[in-house]
């Protein structure tokens, strides 16, 4: 942790006990007022980098963010942990606008989110100028670059914000790492001697897999069933496909909603919200679904068709596991996807087409490569991965079934290609290997080749796939418009038996049970899965009550840690990673009883306490009151708010029938309250508070009234505390 104050804030407010790599140094830059650019992949934890320092520093931080939906999510999450955050955008009503302004005036807003259009308006700049601005953070900073995947012209104008605030430090954040984009960001924002921090773009928590599409619905169902109840996104290329698949999944008992550009904005909004509140587990979508969604606990992303570039795939699959927990990305592909995209490229001019085709080939190679998926992806982006086994892809995990005698099979294919000479493409070569006595084969005399029919026991599709796999591993080369096959130098090594390629077994063979990644095993280590499910249901219930996203209640990481630690009281609840003070105060009473009930189930559980929820902490509070601890001491001991301690005291007084509150509170104040209550009546709580003019909180009024009520009870037991 960079400094005591920050670590204290991160622990108290967010309930995290450690910072992730890069977060410390990124935070230090803000504390030191040095311009910075932080490149951290999705899920790396960029937000905390500026949110925690914003709370630690005097004044208000301004955060420029590109989309209203993203802003709202961030502000919701910040408010849920009790941090003062607000956003100003066109969706606010006049009243909300006024309230926001007042909160800013009072200094309660530590983070103000704005869209770039607004941030550069002269009257808004003038407004900011009158306030103490701690620093300016530019989120999704790649939007400033035409080289990024998401260029937004409004971001360009941010230069004027920089000019308006020469004395304020600027901090830019993005997940897009290319050097070109990086340079653009620094130049466009006129960052001064910025500290540039670039983390690996790899997302080790994502488990990548690619399978040839053989039975789409069955392949999709395998994942959906295995991850029943978890949040997933399924991408389809066409709207029709979206509708069909959503219907098929719904038929099979899954809550799947469609999302595509052909639906009305209201419908889309409704489905997106249902997904984020976990009223639906699945969204089946075209790529129109994306930027607006920030759901951190998407546990899987399935592509039912191949995207046209690796950049697209990286971005879409990257929506899984934003919370850093393990998540799964399955890509179903087929050669027809390649042909379709290739066909669609025909309209481009020749240079653009050349680039697009190269990208398409790279994408297809990713699919057919029989090599670590993380490595292939990172190499594409110019980064080396040294790990021999990533432990998080189908190939490294051994989840892809490999052909056992791959050397022999490969030798048969390569020698056939060599015999044929550079005259045949993959399809024709497949015919020969299969031993198909087609007219053109016989005519050319190829049925006389020694390699004719040497793979006759396999079907054409399987052979064809093997050819693709050999090509993507560099043993065969496809040349010219007709993809004429030629054996490469490496291919000849295989023929000599010096190297063994990897070939995937035909998809139809029964597959071995899937192995989970190490990340998955670790994040589930010690977690009671049944309890976790129960807590997720509770979270869903609360999200629906609050009308907000589920992740604003708790993330999956926090729920798993709860289901691991099984906290019994608020002190233990606060030990859960992701439970800060505010969430403890808001939700301990909802979660603890469920956890306790679960832990106690079958273990000769005591009957439920009369007061209902809050049972065990309440019992501890009662013990402390009986031992003479006052309200503050009790609150400190239990690590609960003074307000909650007062609530327990009222319950204690009610249960014991006590009539004197003074052992636990200031006698003068108790007198004032009881005089007001006498005059105005017990029911007139608000009037009593009004009369006291802010001298006492409502909870203490309740405590005193509880005593007075006991006094009025005929024959009330007078018990010593």
Question: Does position 463 bind Zn ion by CB under 5 A?
Answer: no
Residue 53 or 296 with smaller CB distance to ligand ADP:
296
Residues 6+ apart with CB under 8 A from 106: none
Q: Using CB under 6 A as the criterion, what x/- string covers residues 406-435 for binding ligand ADP? A: ------------------------------
Q: What would the two tokens of residue 562 be?
A: 């709860």
324 binds, among ligand ADP, Zn ion, none (CB under 5 to 8 A by kind): ligand ADP
Using a CB cutoff of 8 Å and minimum separation of 24, what contacts does 312-318 make?
312/287, 313/363, 313/366, 314/377, 314/381, 315/149, 315/290, 316/235, 316/287, 316/290, 317/206, 317/208, 318/41, 318/42, 318/175, 318/203, 318/206
> CA-to-CA distance for 94 and 97, rounded, in angstroms?
5
Size of interface with ligand ADP, in residues (CB under 6 A) = 18
Radius of gyration of the chain (CA): 32
Rounded least distance, CB 77 to ligand ADP, Å: 8
Residue 19 or 706 with smaller CB distance to ligand ADP:
19
Question: Does position 188 bind Zn ion by CB under 5 A?
Answer: no
Among 29, 35, 44, 73, binds ligand ADP (CB under 6 A): 44
- Classify the C-alpha dihedral 83-88-91-92 as positive or negative: positive
The overall longest dimension of the chain from CA atoms, in Å, is 113
**Which range touches ligand ADP (CB under 6 A), out of 17-25, 98-106, 421-429, 579-587?**
17-25
Among 42, 271, 309, 473, binds ligand ADP (CB under 6 A): 42
Q: What would the two tokens of residue 11 be?
A: 């622990």
Ramachandran area for residue 471 (φ above 0: left; ψ -120 to 50: alpha; else beta): alpha
Q: Using CB under 6 A as the criterion, what x/- string covers residues 294-313 for binding ligand ADP? A: --x-----------------
Phi, psi of 134 (to 5 degrees): -80, -45
470 touches 418 (CB < 8 A): no
Q: Which of residues 368-427 bind Zn ion (CB under 5 A)?
A: 372, 374, 390, 393, 396
Closest residue by Cα to residue 507 from 252, 332, 308: 332
Rounded least distance, CB 18 to ligand ADP, Å: 6
Rounded least distance, CB 457 to ligand ADP, Å: 49
Question: Does position 176 bind ligand ADP by CB under 6 A?
Answer: no
Residue 42 or 618 with smaller CB distance to ligand ADP:
42
Place of tokens 């909603």: 257
What number of helices (H) and strands (E) belong to the chain? 33, 15
Closest residue by Cα to residue 55 from 134, 119, 128, 132: 134
Rounded least distance, CB 320 to Zn ion, Å: 16
DSSP E strands in 252-382: the ranges are 256-259, 282-285, 298-303, 327-333
Question: Does position 53 bind ligand ADP by CB under 6 A?
Answer: no
Residue 396 or 519 with smaller CB distance to Zn ion:
396
Question: Does position 516 bind Zn ion by CB under 5 A?
Answer: no
Among 152, 162, 295, 322, binds ligand ADP (CB under 6 A): 322
44 binds, among Zn ion, ligand ADP, none (CB under 5 to 8 A by kind): ligand ADP
- DSSP H helices, 141-289, are 153-156, 159-164, 179-188, 216-226, 239-251, 265-276
Q: Which of residues 296-355 bind Zn ion (CB under 5 A)?
A: none
Residue 43 or 194 with smaller CB distance to ligand ADP:
43
Any idea how long the chain is? Answer: 721
Residue 701 gets which letter from DSSP? Answer: H
Q: How far apart are the first and last CA of the chain?
A: 45
390 binds, among Zn ion, ligand ADP, none (CB under 5 to 8 A by kind): Zn ion
> CA-to-CA distance for 474 and 478, rounded, in angstroms?
10
Rounded least distance, CB 207 to Zn ion, Å: 9
Among 7, 36, 43, 378, binds ligand ADP (CB under 6 A): 43
> CA-to-CA distance for 706 and 659, rounded, in angstroms?
8
The DSSP annotation for 66-117 comes to S-HHHHHHHHHHHHHTT--EEEE-TT--HHHHHHHHHHHHHT--SEEEE-HH
- DSSP H helices, 166-233, are 179-188, 216-226
Residue 204 or 324 with smaller CB distance to ligand ADP:
324
Rounded least distance, CB 204 to Zn ion, Å: 10
Question: Does position 45 bind ligand ADP by CB under 6 A?
Answer: yes
Q: Count other C-beta atoms under 10 Å from residue 337's C-beta.
A: 23
Q: Which of residues 549-568 bind ligand ADP (CB under 6 A)?
A: 555
Among 6, 9, 13, 19, binds ligand ADP (CB under 6 A): 19
Question: Does position 323 bind ligand ADP by CB under 6 A?
Answer: yes
Residue 165 gets which letter from DSSP? Answer: -
46 binds, among Zn ion, ligand ADP, none (CB under 5 to 8 A by kind): ligand ADP
Among 324, 391, 501, 661, binds ligand ADP (CB under 6 A): 324
* CA 361-380-156 angle, 5° bins: 105
Rounded least distance, CB 374 to ligand ADP, Å: 18
Residue 171 or 374 with smaller CB distance to Zn ion:
374
**Which range touches ligand ADP (CB under 6 A), out of 15-23, 94-102, 407-415, 713-721?**
15-23
Closest residue by Cα to residue 36 from 200, 202, 185: 185
**Which range touches ligand ADP (CB under 6 A), out of 46-54, 149-157, 278-286, 334-342?**
46-54
Residue 42 or 314 with smaller CB distance to ligand ADP:
42
Bridge partner residues of 661 (DSSP) = none
Question: Does position 20 bind ligand ADP by CB under 6 A?
Answer: yes
Question: Which stretches of the chain bind ligand ADP, using CB under 6 A?
Answer: 16, 18-20, 23, 40, 42-48, 296, 322-324, 555
User: What residue ranges bind Zn ion (CB under 5 A)?
Assistant: 372, 374, 390, 393, 396
């Amino acid at each position: 942790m960079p400094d005591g104050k920050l670590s204290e804030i991160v622990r108290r407010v967010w309930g995290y006990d450690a910072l992730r790599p890069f977060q410390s140094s990124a935070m230090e830059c803000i504390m030191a007022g040095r311009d910075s650019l932080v490149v951290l992949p999705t899920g790396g934890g960029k937000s905390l980098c500026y949110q925690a320092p914003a709370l630690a520093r005097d004044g208000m931080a301004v955060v420029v963010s590109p989309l209203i939906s993203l802003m709202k999510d961030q502000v919701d999450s910040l408010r849920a942990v009790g941090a003062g955050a607000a956003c100003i955008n066109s969706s606010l009503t006049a009243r909300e606008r006024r309230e926001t302004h007042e909160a800013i005036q009072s200094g309660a807003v530590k983070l103000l989110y704005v869209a770039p259009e607004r941030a550069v308006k002269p009257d808004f700049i003038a407004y900011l100028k009158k306030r103490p601005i701690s620093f300016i953070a530019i989120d999704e900073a790649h939007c400033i670059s035409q080289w990024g995947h998401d260029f937004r012209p409004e971001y360009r104008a941010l230069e004027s914000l920089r000019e308006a605030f020469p004395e304020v430090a600027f901090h830019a954040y993005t997940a897009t790492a290319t050097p070109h984009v990086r340079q653009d960001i620094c130049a466009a924002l006129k960052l001064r001697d910025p500290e540039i921090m670039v983390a690996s773009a790899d997302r080790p928590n994502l488990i990548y897999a690619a399978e040839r599409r053989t039975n789409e619905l069955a392949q999709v169902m395998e994942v959906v069933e295995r991850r029943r109840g978890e949040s997933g996104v399924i991408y389809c290329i066409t709207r029709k496909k979206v509708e069909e698949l959503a219907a098929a999944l719904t038929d099979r008992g899954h809550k799947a909603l469609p999302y595509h550009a052909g639906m009305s904005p209201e419908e889309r909004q409704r489905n997106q919200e249902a997904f984020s509140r976990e009223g639906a587990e699945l969204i089946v979508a075209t790529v129109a679904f994306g930027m607006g969604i920030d759901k951190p606990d998407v546990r899987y992303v399935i592509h039912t068709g191949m995207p046209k570039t690796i950049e697209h795939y990286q971005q879409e699959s990257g929506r899984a596991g934003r919370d850093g927990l393990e998540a799964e990305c399955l890509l179903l592909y087929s050669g027809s996807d390649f042909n379709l995209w290739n066909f669609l490229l025909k309209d481009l001019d020749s240079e653009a087409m050349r680039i697009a085709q190269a990208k398409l080939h790279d994408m297809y190679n990713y699919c057919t490569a029989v090599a670590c998926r993380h490595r292939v992806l990172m190499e594409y982006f110019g980064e080396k991965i040294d790990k021999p086994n990533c432990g998080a892809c189908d190939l490294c995990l051994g989840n892809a079934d490999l052909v056992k005698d791959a050397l022999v099979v490969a030798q048969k294919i390569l020698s056939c290609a060599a015999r044929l000479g550079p005259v045949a493409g993959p399809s024709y070569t497949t015919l020969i290997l299969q031993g198909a006595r087609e007219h053109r084969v016989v005519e050319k005399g190829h049925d006389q080749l020694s390699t004719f029919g040497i793979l006759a026991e396999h079907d054409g599709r399987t052979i064809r796939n093997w050819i693709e796999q050999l090509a993507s591993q560099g043993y065969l080369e496809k040349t010219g418009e007709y993809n004429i096959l030629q054996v490469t130098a490496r291919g000849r090594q295989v023929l000599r038996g010096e190297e063994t390629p990897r070939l995937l077994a035909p998809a139809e063979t029964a597959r071995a049970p899937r192995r989970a990644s190490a990340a998955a095993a670790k994040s589930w280590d010690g977690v009671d899965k049944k309890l976790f499910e129960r807590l997720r249901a509770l979270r869903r219930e609360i999200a629906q009550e609050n009308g907000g996203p589920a992740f604003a209640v708790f993330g999956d990481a926090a729920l798993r840690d709860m289901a691991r630690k099984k906290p019994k009281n608020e002190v233990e609840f606060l030990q859960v990673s992701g439970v800060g003070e505010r969430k403890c105060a808001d939700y301990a009473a909802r979660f603890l009883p469920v956890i306790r009930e679960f832990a106690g189930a079958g273990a000769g559980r005591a009957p439920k306490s009369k007061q209902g929820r809050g049972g065990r902490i309440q019992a501890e509070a009662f013990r402390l009151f009986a031992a003479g601890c006052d309200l503050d001491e009790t609150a400190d001991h239990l690590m609960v708010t003074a307000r909650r301690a007062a609530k327990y005291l009222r319950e204690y007084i009610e249960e014991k029938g006590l009539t004197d509150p003074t052992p636990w509170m200031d006698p003068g104040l108790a007198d004032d309250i009881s005089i007001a209550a006498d005059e105005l009546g017990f029911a007139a709580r608000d009037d009593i508070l009004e009369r006291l003019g802010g001298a006492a909180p409502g909870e203490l009024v309740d405590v005193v009234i509880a005593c007075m009520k006991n006094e009025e009870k005929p024959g009330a037991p007078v018990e010593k505390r």
